[in-house]
Structure 1
Amino acid sequence: MTDTTPASAAPFDYFAHVELPTPSLGDDEVRRLFAQTFGVEIDLRSLGSQQDQNFRVFARGSDVPLGVLKISNPAFSEAEIDLQDRAAARVADHDPTLRVPRLVAGPRGPMSAWWDSSSGRVHARVLENISGSTLMGSGYLSPAVVARLGDLAARVSVALDGFTHPATARVLQWDARHALRVIDALLPGETDATVRESLRAATTDAAATLTPIGDRLPVQAGHFDITDDNVLRAEPGALPDAVIDFGDVTASWRVGEIATTVSSVLHHDGADALSTLPALRAFHARRRLTSDEIAAVWPLVVLRGVVLVLSGRAQVRIDDANDYAASALDREYRIFETATAVPIPVMTAAIRADLEGAPDGGDTDRAWRSGPLLTLAGEIAVLDAGTVSALNDDGAWLDDGALDRAAAAALDRGAACSVIPAWEPVLTGAPRRTPAAPATVPTGATVWLAEPTALTAAAVAGATVADGTLTWTDGRETVTITGLPADATAAELPARTRLFARRFPSDGAQPPARVVPALALAWRTVVGDVGPALGLPASPGPRHPSDDLLERRYRVVADVQEHYYTAPPQIERGWREYLMDVDGRVYLDMVNNVASVGHAHPRVVEAATRQMHLLNTNSRFHYGGITEYGEKIAATLPDELDTVFFVNSGSEAVDLALRLAMAATGRRDIVAMREAYHGWTFASDAISTSIADNPFALETRPDWVHTVVAANSYRGAHRDADAARYAPEAVADIDRIVAGGALPAGFVCETYFGNAGGVALPAGYLQEVYAAVRRHGGLAIADEVQVGFGRLGRWFWGFQEQGVVPDIVAVAKSIGAGHPLGAVITRREIADRYRTQGYFFSSTGGSPVSAAIGSAVLDVIQQEGLQDNARDVGAHLAARLEDLGTRHPIIGRVHGSGLYLGVEFVRDRETREPATAETAAICDRLLELGVIMQPTGDHQNVLKIKPPLCVTKDSVDFFVDALARTLETGW
């Protein structure tokens, strides 16, 4: 029944076994043969494979895996199986940090034998079960995971360098060197004509690049199947650290190792060709690619996609019971489609630029060698349609027609031609909500002519017109001009008509009208700039990836003054709830409560501009703005809060509030709630105990600061219904502080627990605590810096939710809509007591411009119904988030009110263990999907959702949809 002799001494040759039905032993037969051969009674669980049969096996009654039973396809010889085992051992010995499966030893020795089975003579062996999970499926792969895939491929390649074995002479269908032969063998059998022709065209393009350099590509032994299915990570969220399945080990082109790996990235959620760059970069860092290998990578990825599609579809036709192969068909076709979405020369230029710093040996442009097609006499008005252009001010970027109006205005001023150059990102007309980087870089020039303009005589000879498109070619270069009227001729281009001109090699693909910024440099390398062909100035072109403003920031700005994200977009414009980067991508801003009424609100801009024309000076001068603005703020508050101080920030506002309390009471001690953040000045920092902002917050408090437990009803000492205990305990703490001889000047806390992510204080909390501190002669200070001014929707001020009136209110952030402005409001008698400390002034707090901006912001909130919008849109957003929580256990709770919400992520809803790493990764994924979001809380596990108050339902739906996609497909 079993022996150790090989079924065949000859190495496998795929072309002699094009059809390879998978072994199909039944479970009972496998258990019987296993016990007979290896002396162990087992339970088993079937695992998928395209051409082998795999099981995870357990000693009978045990839940600890004995290993993975691999029943090899009968076509493979014993030498080839030995090759696989020796290659795995070589990698494990060379790189002990990698987890690699070795052959398992059983009671009768190594578990490896030939079986005479119902599927014929097959080889069975047990390999170590490597714990963890694969990346199988089409969920999202983060750049870090993609980079690790490339690094693993490089480490295995380095380990197998110099490894030899007689069986490496075998011929496998997955060997990149034989891809064209495999395609020739399988393509005629493809029954879908459309699929067949797509595969044929892609193969021809790949072969054109690969064939001339094939003989120069280095050859060595390799794994050649380090894919998402064949790596493991020890736990969810960790980076892969194990490589399994050495079934495709052979000798082939070395570059095939990384080509195979990156192809497996392409079917994952949100992946495109550029998603592979982190893997290529990591491979190149450890296993440097030659110039020829860089040229070969993408053709090999394309051919891998073709082979996957043909092989998978062929396997299903001959083995329709193979569910593993059938389930892979969609993702294999997605690999092919994604690989071919970018032309090979363009993707190769992008890879070369990323790895070597230049797309094509340092030449980033193709010179125009012919004469210009047009003779333009007079001024050429070059229009800037980019992110920082004034053309896009006041929301004009939303209207693509703004380009035509700007061009017409230039022509009216006497310009002979208006032009938007190629290769410079265009914001005008950009989409508002983009789950992927949009194509914002034009590959051609947009031109408006003042007068009808004839082509040069030489150009007319090579030009034709059809369907409103003029095409000129000299056989080497082609230029197209679209936008012509239907009756146009090649003799003349029309006046005051938007025309779009592109240039490309005559034997190459015509570029799309616009491309994503990350591919712009590569596309320009391949097709060139059309400007000189039209007699226009050459475009400066897209920025090179090495043009890194961030590095300059690191050199000049203190490290501790951090920025959002590890690799942040360069944001240079805002409008309403949107932020725009320099590449013309529009992001949804869901975190920016500073821009309370929306970015660049015209009324705020107008107020600031007008006042700058009039006066901006020290606030100690006498002018109307400071009085009028103070009256407006006071009118929003209870009557007794009638006196206003103006400062520059929330930190200063809280600092001043504390000084007022100290001056009014003649005391220095302050009681504050723990886990709160109040600012960075000496006094506001002293009462801040958020360990997210200062890990040593509690142990470094000065002796005049006393704290009470954070009244967090979700994560604190008392949760849910028990949260009613916080207030009596805080009162008892205040009584003990007083009994110890420290009379409090005041009690300070956020009126809505903002640092925790928008957690409401327990009902009645402030009523009891304010009463206690006042009973001992202290004052109640409300920190409204984050939640004041209508953000909570139902209440204009946070303290209104608690049914109390504080003695001092500190507010900032939203009141200036991004302008440095803060205020402290109190009773007249408290304000007057400050004179015991001297006098107070803030040079620019309440300055004419600050007062004008603050007044405009308050007007906008009130007159445009933004508090109502916060209530209505916030309720809709909260409901959608709550619904999301019913489907995803990582959502522990949705906190907040209005447009001050928090989504708290936990690893376990019972223990409420904070999902800190997951929250950071989720924010990074949301950025990729076009949403600006950041974590908050002491554990940094809460999404702080506080968008501009003008945010719409469509925008918050986009945010929730992006979050849902992230939770469903991974981060």
Structure 2
Amino acid sequence: MDDVAPVVQPAPPEIDDATARRIAKDGWGVDAAPRSLGSHQDRNFLFDLGGESGDEKRLLKVANPSVSAAELEAQSAAAELIAASGTRVPLALPLAEGADRSTALRVEVEGTVMYARLMEFLAGETLSGYLSPTAIRAIGALAGRVDSALADFSSPAAERVHQWDLRHARRTLEELLPHVADDQLRSQLEAECTRAWAVVEPLAADLPMQFIHGDLTDDNVISTDGRVPDGVIDLGDLNLTWTVGEIAITVSSLLHHDGVGLAEAMVAVTAYDAARPLTDAEVEALWPLVIVRAATLVASAHHVLGIDPDNAYAAENLTHEEAILNGAISVPLAVATALVRRATSRAAEGIAAPSGLPLLGDATDVGVVDFSPTSAALSNDTWLAEDAERRIFGVALAQHPIVIAPFDQSRLTRSQPLHTAEPANVALGIELHTRDRMPLHAPWAGEVISHTSSSVTLRSGEFDLRIDGVVEPVAQETEATVGEVFAHLLGPAWIALGRTGLEIPRFVPRSLASAWHAVAADPSSLFGVEPSAAGADAARLLARRDAVFAEVQEHYFAEPPVIVRGWREYLIDADGRVTLDTLNNVASIGHGHPRIAAAVAEQWSLLNTNSRFHYPAVVEFAERLATLVPDPLDTVFLVNSGSEAVDLALRLAQAWSSRLDVVAMREAYHGWTYLSDAVSTSTADNPDALATRPEWIHTVDAPNTFRGAYGLDEAHRFAEDAVAEIDRLAADGTPPSAFLSETFYGNAGGMKLPDGYLGAVYAAVRAHGGLAIADEVQVGYGRLGDWFWGFQQQDATPDVVTIAKAMGAGHPLGAVITTREIAEAYRRGGYFFSSAGGSPVSSVVGLTVLDIIRDERLQENARDVGRYLKERIESLGQKHPLLAAVHGAGLYLGSEFVRDRDTWQPATAETAAICDRLLSLGVIAQPTGDHQNILKIKPPMCFSRKSADFLVDALDQVLTTGW
């Protein structure tokens, strides 16, 4: 492998702008002022030639003097193959009309001969900042496609030995390391490479070889949209080498990016493997080569800066390269390789504990505590208490003399709300508590190693059994036979079983836990207990869901977390990740409210039946609802959902007027029943919404002063147009039975209606014998802060009010409130009945929700926190042009993203990507509106200022670093 010493390339040639201009003019007739671009080894100059579109550019590449003409011509030929495969790549321009594209220009500068090419300029941006899973997947696939395109490429004259060929990394580092002045860093680089090379060397003969790009990194891929790479540039490191070196180089370049840890980087490996399958030997060699590449980058940067101290490009990159090294060696090599195996669908099973005698001898009464996200012991907010684990252990010790917390359990007690990073909460050992002094018996023969007075290890073959805690080794014995007592446990202890000599962390993130099982075994068998059951597999559960659910029943996010617990404004997934819920207006009073749980349990233990029976709760609830609305509204219907409420409201209007026609506002969603769907006009929910309305549904413009027909100064004209439409329908002989709208423009992000709008339109529909229906399903019940109902902001009273969502706090509950006279009109056509609407349990839920809103002053909280949150988000709009407006009031807000504030072009794709990035930072958010460019913010009404700050800070991070 290393029989020929690699060439450590000299510094880039000294070429000034004037010389670059002369070279471009002499060789290709291009005469323009160049702009110098950075590079480790060449000199690159950009020429802007203007052109009709103003974006015609050329790139002059003057190669390092160590690069031959044959190498450059091979690069040009390889680019042709890559382009033929459908991948964007800049091609070399011919020296003269009709000449071969691959021919390079020989130039001589101050006696030094080198070669130059003028290249097409590939439009787009290189990758920077945050990388999304989509971008990571794309660069991995791109590397795989490039290697597939070059699989049969051959150019013997271009074969060379150079420092970036990973086959020669060991010799390269021997030359580079003396240039690293930091002794500690130099020793670290040498040690890491020695360990990595020990894995690679035995595999070398089995590693496939071909010509590869050799530097397919974040700096050498181009993205048309600034997010997802779709082109490659700079084949300056093209060479015949190990093919796996391509993806090793690509993956290493990702490790310094915001949002890319080891688990995220594996997305690129999976994509590469799908495009160009890796062999078993390549899988084993991949991560060692990532480490070698990282070390070479760091050492090379020190070398370049040593001979070219003014090289700003190298100086800036050194910070990134150090981050790459730190990421590459952040876990033991065996753990990283286990991640690679998993990413390439290879078995990456954890090591098993060797069979042996019980660690605790004859002790058999061993209790197991549960700290998982679904643990009954962690109800309400107990998981947030600092002493939660100690308290639960204490309760268990009252029942068992020995208690353990299991291996591989995601501990909710180790998770915290309002944290952007995935929690390190998965146990790689067993925690043991005991009432009394406990002898520890050697499960197998081994060497006893006393670390300190609080730690002892039994080493046997390839395994270390380490006990950390209050332990007392037995005398000075250094060997223990099977079953012999080798120490006494005097207090709580942590017990880990791992590969010899490895430091096993107590807790790791779930994304890395299964890979750590390659070096950390489950000690459960030593205690006579069964291993912990595997947690929820999100992908497998989603596949099961898709197999039985109709496809039209959508879910949030392409790869949704498995949510198993909620508390206040937090949602908790099966791995214990705590996310901030910013969109769940259904959970009006907060998740997991103990008063609701207690009330439901008590009522259900007494009675729950259909609503035709006579019982107190339904009477009390209906009376309570009637007191919340102004006169003359006094009569209540109870149903199960907002869809049913809107459907019933429309039936009331049609029965009242003996007419079908209805006027509805555009861009609204009202439900899924026949009638509520008929008046739903949101094209986001149904692209054919307007075209598929029944002929008796008539629509009026949504009064959107941002992108509608009228601006703020003419907002009154929206009401005038709606009144005119109602009058026209009446004049045509089809007066509407009702006008229906949300009272705050909820589905479009909480936009306030123009002052006086509802009053004018309600008067018009009533003048023709119709009813005014206020859809308060989303915005009502105190969420707006200053008003309990949205129609109060308009100082207008409807004839019918529909309610749902907030009134049940997640329980299926809806209502219609109207007048006795209107309700009686419906009675003439028959009777109304809803089996579960207003059932005893539902009525108790409704009453308890109202009590909580009152007692915990949630409407006032929505007002105060909502104002604060809106002000903070508006301040982001001054910093980030994409965030153009913040609509709404209280805790019903909508942050609107546009690409251009003059044209108000919606930033639809950006909004979806922002929501995905927010999820990775611990915030659950979703877009809304017909253009899906509004971030809807309608969290539980217990939302705190601290949560508001976390949301705004996370959004600021996304808008600053990318999505």
Under a length normalisation based on structure 2, what TM-score does the superposition of the two structures give? 0.95
Q: Within 2, Cα distance between the matches of 1:543 and 1:628?
A: 44
Deviation at 1:442, TM superposition (A): 0.4
Q: Within 1, Cα distance between the matches of 2:539 and 2:774?
A: 46
Change (3 A) 1:79 1:99: closer
Q: Is the 8 A contact 2:726 2:735 kept in 1?
A: no
Residue identity in the other structure for 1:129? F
Q: Within 1, Cα distance between the matches of 2:506 and 2:837?
A: 50
Q: Is the 8 A contact 1:440 1:516 kept in 2?
A: yes
Q: Is the 8 A contact 1:270 1:436 kept in 2?
A: no
- Which of 112, 121, 127 lines up with 2:119 in the alignment? 127
Q: Within 2, Cα distance between the matches of 1:494 and 1:30?
A: 75
Q: Within 1, Cα distance between the matches of 2:489 and 2:440?
A: 11
Deviation at 1:841, TM superposition (A): 1.9
Partner residue, 1:471: 457
Q: Within 2, Cα distance between the matches of 1:956 and 1:21?
A: 52
Q: Within 2, Cα distance between the matches of 1:862 and 1:787?
A: 17
Q: Within 1, Cα distance between the matches of 2:447 and 2:30?
A: 84
Deviation at 1:206, TM superposition (A): 1.2
Alignment of 1:433-444 (within 5 A): 433-444=418-429
Q: SS state of the match for residue 632, structure 2?
A: coil
Asked if 1:215 is matched to 2:212, the reply is no
Residue identity in the other structure for 1:332? E
Q: Within 2, Cα distance between the matches of 1:849 and 1:212?
A: 69
Asked if 1:935 is matched to 2:920, the reply is no
Stretch deviating more after TM superposition (632-641 or 787-796): 632-641
Asked if 1:386 is matched to 2:376, the reply is no
Q: Within 2, Cα distance between the matches of 1:124 and 1:386?
A: 63
Q: Within 1, Cα distance between the matches of 2:159 and 2:719?
A: 78
Alignment of 1:98-137 (within 5 A): 98-106=88-96, 112-118=104-110, 120-135=112-127, 137=128
Partner residue, 1:270: 259
Q: Within 2, Cα distance between the matches of 1:926 and 1:840?
A: 45
Partner residue, 2:143: 153
Q: SS state of the match for residue 755, structure 1?
A: helix
Q: SS state of the match for residue 252, structure 1?
A: strand
- Which of 767, 783, 794 lines up with 1:775 in the alignment? 767
Q: Within 1, Cα distance between the matches of 2:824 and 2:4?
A: 93
Q: Within 1, Cα distance between the matches of 2:48 and 2:614?
A: 86
Deviation at 1:492, TM superposition (A): 5.2
Q: Within 2, Cα distance between the matches of 1:282 and 1:61?
A: 38
Deviation at 1:16, TM superposition (A): 7.0
Change (3 A) 1:459 1:420: farther
Partner residue, 2:879: 887
Map Cα deviations across residues 382-424 of structure 1 (whole Å, 9 max, x no partner): 22221112112112221253333232222212x2321111012
Asked if 1:522 is matched to 2:515, the reply is yes
Change (3 A) 1:653 1:541: closer
Asked if 1:281 is matched to 2:266, the reply is no
Partner residue, 1:654: 646
Q: Within 2, Cα distance between the matches of 1:463 and 1:277?
A: 37
Q: Within 2, Cα distance between the matches of 1:370 and 1:554?
A: 44
Q: Within 2, Cα distance between the matches of 1:947 and 1:675?
A: 22
Partner residue, 1:481: 467
Q: Within 2, Cα distance between the matches of 1:119 and 1:943?
A: 62
Q: Within 2, Cα distance between the matches of 1:563 and 1:286?
A: 29
Q: SS state of the match for residue 232, structure 1?
A: strand
- Which of 505, 511, 521 lines up with 2:499 in the alignment? 505
- Which of 36, 44, 52 lines up with 1:46 in the alignment? 36
Partner residue, 1:445: 430
Asked if 1:308 is matched to 2:297, the reply is yes
Q: Is the 8 A contact 2:20 2:45 kept in 1?
A: no
Partner residue, 1:91: 82
Change (3 A) 1:763 1:671: same
**Alignment size in residue pairs:** 949
Q: Within 2, Cα distance between the matches of 1:780 and 1:51?
A: 74
Q: SS state of the match for residue 380, structure 2?
A: helix
Partner residue, 2:480: none
Deviation at 1:61, TM superposition (A): 8.6
Deviation at 1:839, TM superposition (A): 1.3
Asked if 1:184 is matched to 2:174, the reply is yes
Change (3 A) 1:460 1:18: closer
Q: SS state of the match for residue 548, structure 1?
A: helix
Q: Is the 8 A contact 2:472 2:488 kept in 1?
A: no
Q: SS state of the match for residue 183, structure 1?
A: helix
- Which of 740, 747, 750 lines up with 1:748 in the alignment? 740
Q: SS state of the match for residue 715, structure 2?
A: helix
Partner residue, 1:81: 72
Change (3 A) 1:34 1:702: closer
Q: Within 2, Cα distance between the matches of 1:544 and 1:839?
A: 47
Map Cα deviations across residues 616-667 of structure 1 (whole Å, 9 max, x no partner): 1111111111111122222222132222111100001111111122222332
Deviation at 1:765, TM superposition (A): 0.6
- Which of 949, 957, 960 lines up with 1:957 in the alignment? 949
Stretch deviating more after TM superposition (481-490 or 613-622): 481-490
Map Cα deviations across residues 413-448 of structure 1 (whole Å, 9 max, x no partner): 2x2321111012121241112312211210001111
Structure 1: gaps of 5 or more residues: 1-11
Map Cα deviations across residues 188-232 of structure 1 (whole Å, 9 max, x no partner): 321123322332332232123222212221111111111111111
Q: Within 2, Cα distance between the matches of 1:39 and 1:823?
A: 78
Q: Within 2, Cα distance between the matches of 1:386 and 1:22?
A: 57
Q: Within 2, Cα distance between the matches of 1:493 and 1:588?
A: 45
Partner residue, 1:876: 868
Partner residue, 2:700: 708
Identity rate, percent = 48
Q: Within 2, Cα distance between the matches of 1:661 and 1:58?
A: 67
Partner residue, 2:280: 291
- Which of 895, 906, 909 lines up with 2:898 in the alignment? 906
Partner residue, 1:431: 416
Q: SS state of the match for residue 633, structure 2?
A: coil
Residue identity in the other structure for 2:402? C
Deviation at 1:485, TM superposition (A): 7.1
Q: Within 2, Cα distance between the matches of 1:732 and 1:148?
A: 53
Deviation at 1:97, TM superposition (A): 4.2
Deviation at 1:547, TM superposition (A): 6.6
Partner residue, 1:611: 603
Map Cα deviations across residues 930-952 of structure 1 (whole Å, 9 max, x no partner): 11111111111111110111111
Q: Within 2, Cα distance between the matches of 1:483 and 1:462?
A: 16
Asked if 1:371 is matched to 2:357, the reply is yes
Partner residue, 2:669: 677
Partner residue, 1:405: 391
Q: SS state of the match for residue 833, structure 1?
A: helix
Partner residue, 2:550: 558
Q: Is the 8 A contact 1:465 1:488 kept in 2?
A: no
Partner residue, 2:247: 258
Q: Is the 8 A contact 2:6 2:161 kept in 1?
A: no
What do you get for the CA RMSD once the two structures are aligned? 2.2
Deviation at 1:735, TM superposition (A): 0.5
Change (3 A) 1:108 1:30: farther
Change (3 A) 1:867 1:488: farther
Q: SS state of the match for residue 484, structure 1?
A: strand
Q: Within 2, Cα distance between the matches of 1:823 and 1:969?
A: 45
Q: SS state of the match for residue 331, structure 2?
A: coil
Q: Within 2, Cα distance between the matches of 1:806 and 1:61?
A: 62
Residue identity in the other structure for 1:511? I
Q: Within 2, Cα distance between the matches of 1:66 and 1:712?
A: 43
Partner residue, 2:594: 602
Q: Within 2, Cα distance between the matches of 1:16 and 1:621?
A: 89
Stretch deviating more after TM superposition (637-646 or 585-594): 637-646
Q: Is the 8 A contact 1:422 1:541 kept in 2?
A: no
